[in-house]
């Protein structure tokens, strides 16, 4: 018996050794398969839409850009959350996202977000934010990039005045008042129009929300009656009402953020755009590669390629005279080359 045991020990030792070695390989291999590296390395991104995507291309572009960057890397999950129109709910909802600890990055966009993100950051200092169309420098967990909307609005005002010809009044319908609207967009729009006609005035009216197309139509119709034949609309879903009222009255509309000529050919005579999809893609990609400069606040305009005016559209050529298009092209060329600096 003893002999047998003695004989068996080396055999047993070899067996145990083999089991250990094989088991080790199996475990290592199994670990790689059962807990995929992808899952272990998953990066979770929440895109918080402060409003709804329908009718607001600035938000559509945000989600599209983040998704594109995520699709190029394995192990990145994107969750898009529509925050709705009740602005009082945005901070508690973002607080809940941060408190969950589930998201490596929260992405959002509009000028009210930096203040909300700072408040959330004070409670959950680990949470990182990428915010577009807003500005805040100095928080080591928040990166922001806003657009030069003075340039964007200036180009809109310039085309509006060219189309208005001798009429010294153009309109602007906004979803709500906010510092970027009252302090940058409205003055930029007026300044661009005054480059064409120094006597120009702007009829500025506010819907009070970002969805009421009926109110948008009512305001536009009133403006047209009061003598504004060209209207810039920056009112989300309410833009639909503005374009409808303008089409019915034979007035014209200038679009903001995306190419809007196709929305109502012949009525939409200008499109001053943002490349928010490009910005969202590039900044998300930078985050995924560990090179998003948190704490920094960037501003990008026409010369940097994030703001532009769409000239190469057949509906634009069909609805605006060659003379007016030539003058508009001269303006956009000066902005693209950096020869014209309007400030921020
Ligand atoms: N723009 C939209 O197109 N849709 C919106 O729902 C919307 N909501 C906004 C809410 C707040 C509190 C603020 C400050 C701005 C909002 N904007 C919205 C305007 C947006 O930030 C931007 O100024 C315009 O889209 C013009 O580029």
147-171 pLDDT, tens digit each: 999 999 999 999 999 999 999 999 9
DSSP 262: G
Nearest to 153 by CA among 184, 194, 175: 184
Beta bridge partners of 78: 45
Determine the atom of ligand 1 nearest the C-alpha atom of 110: 21
Q: Domain ranges in the chain?
A: 12-147+276-300, 149-274+311-337
SS3 state of residue 332: helix
Whether 212 lines ligand 1, by a CB cut-off of 6 Å, is: no
Determine the atom of ligand 1 nearest the C-alpha atom of 257: 27
Q: Is the pLDDT of residue 81 over 90?
A: yes
Mean pLDDT of 309-336: 98
Whether 51 lines ligand 1, by a CB cut-off of 6 Å, is: yes
Whether 255 lines ligand 1, by a CB cut-off of 6 Å, is: no
CA of 90 to the centre of ligand 1 (A): 14
Domain 12-147+276-300, CATH among 3.40.50.2300, 3.90.79.10, 3.40.50.720, 1.10.10.10: 3.40.50.2300
Strands 201-206 and 142-147: unpaired
d(CA 207, CA 218): 9
Q: Is the pLDDT of residue 26 over 70?
A: no
Any idea which architecture 149-274+311-337 has in CATH? 3-Layer(aba) Sandwich (3.40)
| 8 A C-beta contact, residue 176 and residue 210 | yes
Mean pLDDT of the chain: 91
Environment class of residue 188 by beta-carbon count within 10 Å: exposed (0-12), middle (13-18) or buried (19+)? buried
Reported as a pLDDT band with limits 50, 70 and 90, residue 5 is: very low
Reported as a pLDDT band with limits 50, 70 and 90, residue 9 is: very low
Reported as a pLDDT band with limits 50, 70 and 90, residue 131 is: very high
Determine the atom of ligand 1 nearest the C-alpha atom of 52: 6
Whether 239 lines ligand 1, by a CB cut-off of 6 Å, is: no
Whether 256 lines ligand 1, by a CB cut-off of 6 Å, is: yes
Reported as a pLDDT band with limits 50, 70 and 90, residue 38 is: very low
- Strands annotated E in the chain: 43-49, 76-82, 105-109, 129-132, 142-147, 169-174, 201-206, 230-234, 252-257, 268-274, 297-300, 307-309
Q: Which of 89, 110, 153, 307 to mutate to test the pocket of ligand 1 (most atoms within 8 A of CB)?
A: 110
Mean pLDDT of 328-334: 98
pLDDT at 306: 98
Mean pLDDT of 256-270: 98
Q: What length is written for the chain?
A: 344
Q: What is the pLDDT of residues 181-229, one digit of tens each?
A: 999 999 999 999 999 999 999 999 999 999 999 999 999 999 999 999 9
Q: Is the pLDDT of residue 271 over 90?
A: yes
pLDDT at 41: 63
pLDDT at 40: 52
CA of 110 to the centre of ligand 1 (A): 6
Residue 157: CB atoms within 10 Å? 31
| 8 A C-beta contact, residue 230 and residue 267 | no
Q: Is the pLDDT of residue 29 over 70?
A: no
Domain 12-147+276-300 matches domain 149-274+311-337 at the CATH topology level = yes
Q: Is the pLDDT of residue 37 over 90?
A: no
Whether 111 lines ligand 1, by a CB cut-off of 6 Å, is: yes
Whether 237 lines ligand 1, by a CB cut-off of 6 Å, is: no
Reported as a pLDDT band with limits 50, 70 and 90, residue 25 is: very low
Take atom 9 of ligand 1 and give the residue whose Cα is closest: 110
Whether 236 lines ligand 1, by a CB cut-off of 6 Å, is: yes
d(CA 90, CA 109): 12
């Amino acid at each position: 018996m003893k002999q047998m045991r003695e004989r068996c020990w080396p055999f047993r030792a070899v067996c145990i050794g083999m089991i250990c070695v094989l088991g080790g390989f199996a475990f290592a291999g199994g670990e790689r398969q059962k807990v995929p590296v992808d899952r272990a390395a998953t990066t979770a991104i929440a895109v918080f839409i402060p409003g709804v995507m329908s009718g607001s291309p600035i938000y559509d572009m945000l989600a599209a850009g983040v998704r594109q960057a995520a699709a190029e890397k394995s192990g990145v999950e994107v969750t898009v959350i529509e925050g709705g129109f009740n602005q009082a709910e945005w901070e508690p909802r973002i607080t809940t996202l941060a408190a969950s600890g589930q998201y490596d990055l929260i992405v959002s966009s509009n000028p009210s977000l930096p203040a909300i993100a700072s408040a959330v950051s004070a409670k959950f200092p680990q949470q990182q934010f990428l915010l577009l169309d807003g500005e805040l420098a100095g928080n080591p967990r928040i990166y922001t990039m806003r657009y030069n909307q003075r340039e964007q609005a200036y180009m809109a005002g310039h085309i509006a005045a060219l189309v208005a010809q001798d009429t010294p009044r153009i309109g602007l319908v906004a979803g709500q008042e906010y510092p970027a609207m009252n302090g940058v967009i409205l003055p930029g729009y007026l300044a661009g129009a005054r480059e064409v006609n120094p006597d120009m005035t702007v009829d500025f009216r506010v819907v009070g929300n970002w969805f009421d197309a009926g109110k948008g139509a009512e305001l536009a119709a009133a403006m047209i009656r009061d003598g504004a034949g060209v209207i810039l609309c920056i009112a989300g879903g309410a833009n639909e009402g503005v374009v409808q009222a303008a089409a019915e009255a034979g007035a014209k509309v200038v679009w903001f953020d995306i190419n809007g000529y196709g929305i109502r050919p012949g009525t939409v005579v200008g499109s001053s755009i943002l490349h928010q999809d490009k910005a969202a893609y590039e900044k998300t990609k930078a985050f995924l590669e560990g090179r998003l400069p948190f704490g920094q606040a960037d501003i990008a305009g026409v010369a940097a390629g994030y703001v532009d005016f769409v000239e190469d559209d057949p509906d634009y050529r069909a609805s605006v005279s060659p003379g007016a298009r030539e003058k508009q092209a001269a303006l956009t060329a000066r902005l693209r080359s950096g020869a014209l600096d309007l400030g921020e």
